[in-house]
Amino acid sequence: MTAAIWQLSDSELLADAAAVSHKIQLLEARRIALVGEIDTRVSREKLGFPGPAGWLTSTTLLSPSKANKIVALGRGLKNFPDIADAVNTGVMTIDHAALILTFAETPPKNLPQAGLDIARKAMITAATGPQARTGRIREAITKLDDRFGGNKPPPEDTDRNEFFASKTLNGRLVLKGDFDAITGEKLLTALSPLTEPRPAADGTQDDRSPARRRADAFGHILDQYLASSNRPTEGGERPHLNLHISLRDLTDLRDSADADDITDDETSRAAAESDTDAVDPVDINTGHPIHPDTADASDTPPAADRGAYRDLFGDGTTVGWLPWMGPLSRNTSRQLACDCVLTAIVMDENGNPLNLARTARTVTAKQRKALTARDHGCAFPGCGKPAAWTEGHHIWHWADGGPTDMNNLVLLCRFHHRLMHHSDWEVFIGTDGHPWFVPPATVDPYRQPRPSHARAGPHIA
C-alpha cells in the first residue's frame, strides 16, 4: 500500500518526486507515439476532426496549442529516430525535442546535410539530462542561422516574419510579432503621430506609459481601418463589430445609448412576434419533434434555477458577447452602445435570436448575424472555429424541402459541413433551441446527443 505523502521522509519525498517526473516524461513520449499512430491510421471521419489535434482538444484537457505541438512531434519524430530515442527513454524533455525537431525540419538554407547531421547530434547531446539548458540550444541554432541562413541579412528576411495573437484565460488578447525592417518601419511610422503624449485640456500631463500610448494608438489605427470602405469582405460583409445582447438587457443598453444609434434590423420588435414557419424543435433524448402545444413543462427547469444558472455561467445570454473575444461586461457593453453604430441581435432567455427566420435558398446577412449570436462559431462539439470561417448548414436539406429558417440552420466550418453531408453524424435543434449532434455508432455505440460547442459543459436542457 502506498504511503500518504505526509508520511514520507525527506529523502523519500525527493526520490518519489524524481521518479514520478521520469514516469511523466515516459508517458508524454507514449502519448506522442500514440497520437502519431492515430494521425497515420484513424480516418478523419472517425475522428470527427480534420486531424488529431482537434480530437485531442475536444476529448482531453489539452489546450489547442499543446495538442498541435503533440501532433507535430508525433509526425516529426518518425523522421528523426535519434531525437525520438532520446524522448522515448525519458532523457530529453518534450520542449527541447520540439526545439531541435523544428531546426531539423527547417534548417538554414545553406547548411549542408553533413553539417545538419552533426549539428543535430550535438544539440541532442546538449539537451540530454537534468543539466540541459534551453539557452545553449537556441544559441547554437542562432549561430547556424546567422552563418548559413541565406543571402538576406536577418533584418531584411521576410521569411522570418511572424505575428501571434493569443486569447488569454481572462479574456484579453496578447500579441507577439517578429517583423522584417521594412514592415517594422511601416508599423512604427503609423504609430508615431498617435503615440505622442497628449496633455489634457486643463494642462494636466499625459501620465500614460509609452507602452500604453502605443496600445491606444494601435486601437485607433484599427478604428480607422474598420471605418474605411475599401477593406475586403468576409462572409459576404465588410468586417465590423457585432455586439450580442439578450432581450432583457436591451432596455438597459438603450438607457445609455441613443435609440437611433441601435439598428434594430426588425429584431427589436421581436418580443411581440414569433416565427410561424420554423421547424419544430426536437427532443434531445428521443430525436422526435416536439410541438410547443404538447411540450411537457417538466422539460424546462424552474425559472429560478435558470436565473441562478445564468448568473453563474452566462449561458450565452450575458449582456455583451463579441464573436471573437467572448463575454463583455455590462459597463463596456453600454460604452460600446454609446460610441458605435451597432446591430442589436435580440435574444430570448435561452440565448436564441428572435424573429430572424426567412424561407430563402441562401442564408441572409441578417440570419448569419443571428446564427453567430446563437452558435458563436462552428457548432460541432469541440470545434468552435470563429464564425467568420463557417458556413450555414441546412439540417433538413434544402433539396429535400428544408427551409432556410433559424430552426433549420447551424453554423459549421468547412470540414464539419462536409462531415455532416458525408458521414453518419446527425444534427437537430433541441428543446433549448440550440443544435445537438448525434455521433455515429463507430464513435459512440449509444449515440448519445452532444451539445454544440458553445453549449458544452453545464447547460439548460
**For residues 298-315, average pLDDT:** 45
Supply 378's cell numbers.
462552428
d(CA 365, CA 222): 23
**Mean confidence (pLDDT) of the chain:** 78
**For residues 108-126, average pLDDT:** 91
pLDDT of residue 306: 44
Supply 27's cell numbers.
508517458
pLDDT of residue 63: 86
What is the residue whose three cell numbers read 485607433? 220
Q: Are strands 342-343 and 262-263 parallel, antiparallel or unpaired?
A: parallel
Please check whether residue 373 is in contact with residue 243, taking contact to mean a CB–CB distance below 8 angstroms.
no
Helix pair angle (10-41, 94-105), 10° resolution = 40
Q: Residue 344's closest CA among 364, 366, 362, 329?
A: 366
User: Max CA-CA distance within the chain?
Assistant: 77
For 58-113, write each residue's pLDDT tens digit. Answer: 889 888 889 999 999 999 999 999 999 999 999 999 999 999 999 999 898 888 99
Q: Give the number of other CB atoms < 10 A from CB of residue 281.
A: 20
For 174, phi then psi, to 5°, come to -105, 130
Residue 158: pLDDT band by 50, 70, 90 thresholds? confident
**For residues 356-362, average pLDDT:** 49
Residue 12: pLDDT band by 50, 70, 90 thresholds? very high
Q: Residue 140's closest CA among 159, 125, 154, 157?
A: 125
Tally of residues, the chain: 461
d(CA 443, CA 440): 6
In DSSP terms, 353 is beta-bridged to 347
For 170-212, write each residue's pLDDT tens digit. Answer: 888 999 999 998 999 999 999 998 888 888 777 788 888 989 9
Please check whether residue 187 is in contact with residue 179, taking contact to mean a CB–CB distance below 8 angstroms.
yes
Is residue 300 pLDDT above 50, yes or no? Answer: no
The residue type found at 314 is G
Supply 350's cell numbers.
435561452
Is residue 373 pLDDT above 60, yes or no? Answer: yes
d(CA 44, CA 47): 5
What is the residue whose three cell numbers read 454544440? 452
**For residues 12-29, average pLDDT:** 94
Least confident window among 38-42, 122-126, 200-204, 274-278: 274-278
Is residue 270 pLDDT above 90, yes or no? Answer: no
Please check whether residue 116 is in contact with residue 107, taking contact to mean a CB–CB distance below 8 angstroms.
yes
